Amino acid sequence: MTALGLSDGPEERHDRPPVHYQISVTGRQAAFFFLLLLVALALAFFFGMRTGAAARKGPGAATTLAAASDLPVPTLAPSENSREEKKPAEEALGFAADKRAALKETAAAATPAPAPTAVPTPKPPTPTAAPPAKEAPAKAVPAKAAPKGPFWVQLLATKNAQAADELMKRLKDEGFAADVSAVPGKDGWFRVRVGPFKDRAKAETAARKIKVTDKQIKNKPLVVP
């Protein structure tokens, strides 16, 4: 070895065995890392969806306001003092108020007035045929009052007085209350009747009974008042 501490001889080597590092992971640790990976992927997917949805919705509220209005939306350079940044924006908004009113008046004057709509002339009503006049109801014919009794059963009307007497006698022999009388309004006519009866039903019953009892009577007995 020289005075400078250098050795002229061969360098001495110290052979050391290599060092190996081993990391052991348990099942619980592996599951925990897997869950962290899933949560990270889910968060990345969620924020990506929100970013895409915001892009599809269009420009932000500030951009829309600036496009629809004449108010400029100031963009301030980053500064350390936030209070100083707000003052220029407020001054710009107040300065544009008069300009916005002037632009609105100009736009209102340039807008053409709507053309008046033609009012349709109402058509005259179509004449309709007058309904036919109703016929006056026919006057009700008063019903004839039913004749009141007494009722008789007339069997013969003839000018032969002898025939009328013979029929009366025969009917009396058969038990019927018969008589002969002159026909009113007809001179020389005689009638043979049986009766009188208080109601018409009894007279009709007697007429049927006489027709059955006396076979010589050819005409139908008549019930008359």
Q: How confident is the model at residue 97 (pLDDT cuts 50, 70, 90)?
A: low
Q: Which residue shows structure tokens 């008359």?
A: 224
Task: Convert the pLDDT of each residue in 177-204 to its tens digit.
Answer: 999 999 999 999 999 999 899 999 999 9
Q: Where are the domains of the chain?
A: 151-224
Model pLDDT, residue 23? 72
- What is the rounded distance in angstroms from the CA atom of residue 98 to the CA atom of residue 95? 7
Range from 68-82, 116-130, 178-192 carrying the lowest mean pLDDT: 68-82
Q: Is the pLDDT of residue 7 over 90?
A: no
* Chain Cα centroid distance, residue 13: 108
159 HSE (CA, 13 A, CB side) = 3
- The string of DSSP letters for 110-140 reads HSPPPPPPPPPPPPPPPPPPPPPPPPPPPPP
Burial class (CB in 10 A: 0-12, 13-18, 19+), 171: buried
70: left (phi over 0), alpha (psi -120 to 50) or beta: alpha
Name the average pLDDT for the chain: 74
Percent of the chain topping pLDDT 90: 35
Binning pLDDT at 50, 70 and 90, where does residue 163 land? very high
Say which CATH superfamily domain 151-224 falls into: Sporulation related repeat (3.30.70.1070)
State the pLDDT at residue 88.
46
For residue range 18-32, what is the model confidence (pLDDT) as tens digits?
Answer: 766 667 778 888 899
- What's the pLDDT band for 90 if we cut at 50, 70, 90? very low
pLDDT in the model for residue 11: 52
Q: CB neighbours (10 Å) of residue 157?
A: 15
Confidence check: pLDDT of 85 > 50: no
Name the amino acid, one letter, at 17: P
